[in-house]
Structure 1
Amino acid sequence: MTELVRLIREGASVDALGDYLDALPSTRREEEVTTLRRGEQAELFDIAADAAPIRLGHFVPEAAPPLRPVHHAGRNTIATLAHFQRFQKRFARPTEGADRLIGYNASNAWFIKPGYFVAYETDGRDEWERRGGVVVDYHQIPGGDVPRGWPDVVPNSQGLQRLVYLNTRDFMRRVSTHVSIGRASREDAKGDLLLDYWFTLCRRERDSSTENE
């Protein structure tokens, strides 16, 4: 059992979890965050409700220029082999519009790609604000330039990716300086309903501008 798992199971506060994660070396932090399983991720999402609302600057630091990719290593809780639960969310600031980010999912499930999205803060939407400070919205896709090396932009209604991304959103909460936790929702005739799928993200500190694999 990792120390992070122990802290979550003991009901540590989000501040205590953040202090622990911030003190770790980057490789150890990513390792601990991306080994959390479904139950631990669900608990972490609930704990993170007490954190200050997450902001776009968590995903792409404000100093980053437009179209400079920032990678977040992740693990989801979709019922599949652990290898296919590992992925990256890759974010960038668009050339126009400071109130949003663009991005896509780089997944080990090579047959379900690319899952483009637009991310923005949930301020002014009461129900969404309670879910998380930032929403990753798959109803929207980038309308302008994307970073060099990124895949072609296609709608999430196209191909096998529609089974994962069509009509979905991810609501994000802050855990620490580098770590966030998300929960998915799907919109249908009954409304936008939260799903029992969670995922962790850990922002990588190194320059992602040439990291396109």
Structure 2
Amino acid sequence: MTPVNELLAMVRTSPIDTDALARGLDAANHDTRLAFVRSLTPLLQRRLFDACSRPVTTRDIVPEGVAPLAEVICEGRNTLPVFRNFQKRFCLPSAEHTPDNRRVLWGYNHQTFSGITGPGYFVAYDDDRHGELVIDYRELPPERPGSWPAILDNRARLGRFVYAGMVDRLRGVSTHVTIGRAFKANPMNAWFALVRVDP
């Protein structure tokens, strides 16, 4: 198993050997992957996003066999100055709300300041052209698991300054780890890393 400091050293090299990093992360256990994600500085997150081109899809976030509306948690680390640890929680839609033309996930952001900004609900879907996963805050899911907070428009509360009009794009790092960047009209100086907790 590759130690966390060796995984981080891989991200500091130029160029990043993304294949070796993926192998190291895949060989690691969850605690090591989580420690890696939570140790990524803003600079390392930016370098990792620019370096990674591994395709990622909704199936990498919520694997086949997970029941509809069953929660899958991704632990996250962002580049904000405060409240940097968070979770993105995902689920498959129920049969009633499953679209015919695409595979989608429902989700929201579980974080310390959600009482101020709102839960930040989104719809996630594949961008086959770029091999990326899109997390789209401009769309709201029509349903949620019973344990999730009420669905709130992202233009409500202070969410209009955070989520309204925003899209995140995810790139694959390894089987469990992804790296993302936020976009509004233009790319934002905001990155985040996620590690999926196996359901």
Counterpart-to-counterpart distance in 2, 1:59 and 1:112: 24
**Residue 200 (1) aligns with residue 193 (2):** yes
Partner SS for 1:16: helix
Partner SS for 1:40: helix
Counterpart-to-counterpart distance in 2, 1:201 and 1:160: 24
| 1:186–1:195 contact (8 Å) kept in structure 2 | yes
Deviation at 1:62, TM superposition (A): 1.3
User: What are the residue-to-residue correspondences of 1:85-104 with 2, within 5 Å?
Assistant: 85-95=84-94, 96-97=98-99, 99-104=103-108
| 1:106–1:113 contact (8 Å) kept in structure 2 | no
Match in the other structure for 2:9? 6
Partner SS for 2:190: strand
**Which consecutive aligned stretches of 4+ in structure 1 deviate over 3 angstroms post-superposition?**
none
Counterpart-to-counterpart distance in 2, 1:22 and 1:123: 24
**Residue 116 (1) aligns with residue 159 (2):** no
Aligned-residue sequence identity (percent) comes to 39
**CA deviation profile, 1:4-57 (whole Å, cap 9, x unmatched):** 2211111332111110111111111111112201100001001112x2x21110
Gaps of 5+ in 2: none
Candidates 58, 61, 66, aligned match of 2:60: 58
Candidates 162, 169, 180, aligned match of 1:171: 169
Q: TM-score, normalised by structure 2?
A: 0.90
**Residue 134 (1) aligns with residue 133 (2):** yes
Q: Which amino acid aligns with 2:189?
A: D
Deviation at 1:99, TM superposition (A): 1.3
Match in the other structure for 2:110? 106
Deviation at 1:109, TM superposition (A): 2.4
**CA deviation profile, 1:167-189 (whole Å, cap 9, x unmatched):** 000001000010000000013xx
Partner SS for 1:62: coil
Counterpart-to-counterpart distance in 1, 2:73 and 2:191: 18
Deviation at 1:3, TM superposition (A): 1.9
| 1:181–1:198 contact (8 Å) kept in structure 2 | yes
Match in the other structure for 1:71? 73
Two-structure CA RMSD over aligned residues (Å):
1.4
Counterpart-to-counterpart distance in 1, 2:176 and 2:153: 29
Q: Which amino acid aligns with 1:46?
A: D
Candidates 6, 27, 30, aligned match of 2:31: 27
Q: Which amino acid aligns with 2:19?
A: D
Counterpart-to-counterpart distance in 1, 2:31 and 2:113: 23
**CA deviation profile, 1:70-117 (whole Å, cap 9, x unmatched):** 000001112x22xx0110000000012351111000012243230000
Q: TM-score, normalised by structure 1?
A: 0.84
Partner SS for 2:47: helix
Q: Which amino acid aligns with 1:136?
A: I
Deviation at 1:162, TM superposition (A): 1.6
Counterpart-to-counterpart distance in 2, 1:12 and 1:154: 40
Counterpart-to-counterpart distance in 1, 2:36 and 2:132: 24
Partner SS for 2:69: coil
